[in-house]
Chain A
Amino acid sequence: MLAFIVRRLLQAVLVMLAVALIAFAMFRFVGDPVNSMLPEIATTEDRQALRAQLGLDEPIPTQFAKFIGGAVQGEFGISYRNKRPVSDLIVERLPATLELVFAAALFALLMGVPMGVYTALNRHGFVSNLLQIISLIGISVPTFVTGILLILIFSVWLNWLPSFGRGEVVQLGWWSTGLLTISGLKSLVLPSVMLGLFQVTLIMRLVRAEMLEVLRTDFIRFARARGLTDRAVHFGHALRNTLMPVITIAGLQLGSMIAFAIITETVFQWPGMGLLFIQAVSFADIPVMSAYLVLVALIFVVINMIVDLLYFVVDPRLSVGGDRA
Chain B
Amino acid sequence: MSADAPSRFAVLLDSDFVYSFRKSRVTLIATLVTVSIIMAALLAPWIAPHDPFDVATLSLLDSELPPAWAEGGDPHFLLGTDNQGRDVLSAILYGSRISLAVGFVSVFFALVAGVAVGLISGYFGGLVDAIFMRIADVMLSFPTILVALLVSGIVRGALPREMHENAALAVLVFAIAITTWVQYARTVRGSTMVERGQEYVLAARLVGRSSASIIFRHILPNVMGPVLVIATINLAMAILIEATLSFLGVGMPPTNPSLGTLIRVGNEYLFSGIWWVVIFPSLTLVVLVLAVNLMGDWLRDALNPKLR
Contacts and interface: CB of A to CB of B under 8 A. Distances in A.
A152 interface: yes
A309 to B, nearest CB: 17
Interface stretch (B5-13, B69-77, B118-126, B285-293): B285-293
B156 A263 contact: no
A26 B157 contact: yes
B278 interface: yes
A150 B270 CA distance: 11
Interface in B261-303: 263, 267, 270-271, 273, 275, 278-279, 282, 285-286, 289-290, 293-294, 297
B289 A142 contact: yes
A136 interface: yes
Contacts of A148: 263, 267, 270, 278, 282
Contacts of A141: 286, 289-290
Contact of B138 (A18, A266, A304): A18
Interface string A256-288: 100110110011000000000110111010100
Interface residues of B, number: 39
A206 interface: no
B142 A300 contact: yes
B249 A31 contact: no
B180 interface: no
A182 B56 CA distance: 51
Contacts of A156: 270-271, 273, 275
Contacts of A19: 138
Nearest to B289: A140
A293 interface: yes
Question: Which of A137, A143, A259, A277: most chain B Cβ within 10 A?
Answer: A259
Interface string B229-262: 0000000100010011001111000000000000
A246 interface: no
Interface string B140-159: 01110110011011101110
Interface string A286-306: 100100010011001000100
Contacts of B279: 152
A145 B286 contact: yes
A300 B154 contact: no
Contact of A278 (B149, B154, B290): B149
A228 interface: no
A136 B294 CA distance: 8
Given A15-B138, A144-B244, A266-B248, A259 B146 contact: yes
Contact of B290 (A31, A137, A296): A137
B270 A286 contact: no
Interface in A14-70: 15, 18-19, 26, 30-31
B143 A280 contact: no
B134 to A, nearest CB: 9
A281 B156 contact: yes
B20 to A, nearest CB: 17
A255 B145 CA distance: 12
A19 B275 CA distance: 42
Interface string A124-163: 0000000000001101111111001101100010000000
Given A139-B293, A140-B293, A142-B286, A260 B250 contact: no
A259 B157 contact: no
Contacts of B267: 148, 267
Given A144-B247, A145-B285, A136 B290 contact: yes
A145 B239 CA distance: 14
Interface of A: 15, 18-19, 26, 30-31, 136-137, 139-145, 148-149, 151-152, 156, 255-256, 259-260, 262-263, 266-267, 277-278, 280-282, 284, 286, 289, 293, 296-297, 300, 304
22 contacts: A19-B138, A30-B154, A137-B286, A141-B290, A142-B243, A143-B244, A144-B243, A145-B285, A152-B278, A156-B271, A156-B275, A259-B142, A259-B143, A259-B146, A266-B247, A266-B249, A278-B249, A278-B250, A281-B248, A281-B250, A282-B248, A297-B142
Given A145-B282, A255-B143, A263-B145, 17 more contacts: A26-B154, A30-B154, A137-B286, A140-B289, A141-B289, A142-B244, A142-B247, A145-B285, A149-B282, A152-B279, A259-B145, A259-B146, A260-B145, A262-B145, A267-B267, A296-B146, A297-B142
